[in-house]
Amino acid sequence: MKNLTFTQEFFLCALKPRGSTTLTGSLESSTCLLAGTLLELLMEDYIEIDDRKNVLINLALSPEKAYTAFIYEFIRNNKPMKMESIAEKYAFDFKKPDELFRLVGRSLVKAGCAEAENKKGLFKDKVSFISNKNEVANVIEKLRAEFLEQGKISDEVVVLGALLNKSSLIKRYFAKHEVQKLNARLKEVKQSEAGILVKKLVDYIDSWIVIISTSTSGI
């Protein structure tokens, strides 16, 4: 199994079996891809949230995080704004979801976890990314092992489970009774004293879906 981040793992699982040219066809999936990218940057201290709840650059972006560069540069090149404002601006600029999609997709092709195919479009050509089935199976097995068995769940797996759950993609891979158990474990994490940051991150995902849904409803 390749050493992928939860953003990349979510992307792999979100692709259609025959390939996808975008995740923007699903509001939840597109929002969760943004959420995953922001949470990854936050958890690894590339960005931080100050006392006024503004998002600020904290560290220079490392080369292995190049697939997050579009969002990182967006934050760096704008005046300090709250997470909610980032989500709103992302929703109103249709180029942002497509660019993030391409960057994450290319990172997975480079890692040998996906393939890329050029597709002819009406106005421009598009790239379709096709996930490696074995890599997807490995991701799901990791989730199943941590969520459906007793024991500690890593922060990264909690976030991945939350992303797949909020995007409704979890139903593609888990039976109904397994989804119920996953939800119960997520609830346990949020109610425990440990994992305060992760609890906040899961709450962010909920709020961003609402924000982006509201922002795009009139477009």
The candidate with the shortest Cα–Cα distance to 106, out of 128, 125, 123, is 128
Higher pLDDT, 203 or 138: 138
Residues 116-145: pLDDT tens digits?
A: 998 766 666 788 999 999 999 999 999 999
- Sign of the CA dihedral with 177 first, then 178, 179, and 184 last: positive
92 vs 8, 196, 217, CA distance in Å?
24, 31, 11
Residues 175-195: pLDDT tens digits?
A: 999 999 888 888 877 776 556
User: What is the predicted pLDDT for the residue at 218?
Assistant: 44
User: What is the predicted pLDDT for the residue at 219?
Assistant: 43
Please state the pTM of the whole predicted model. 0.89
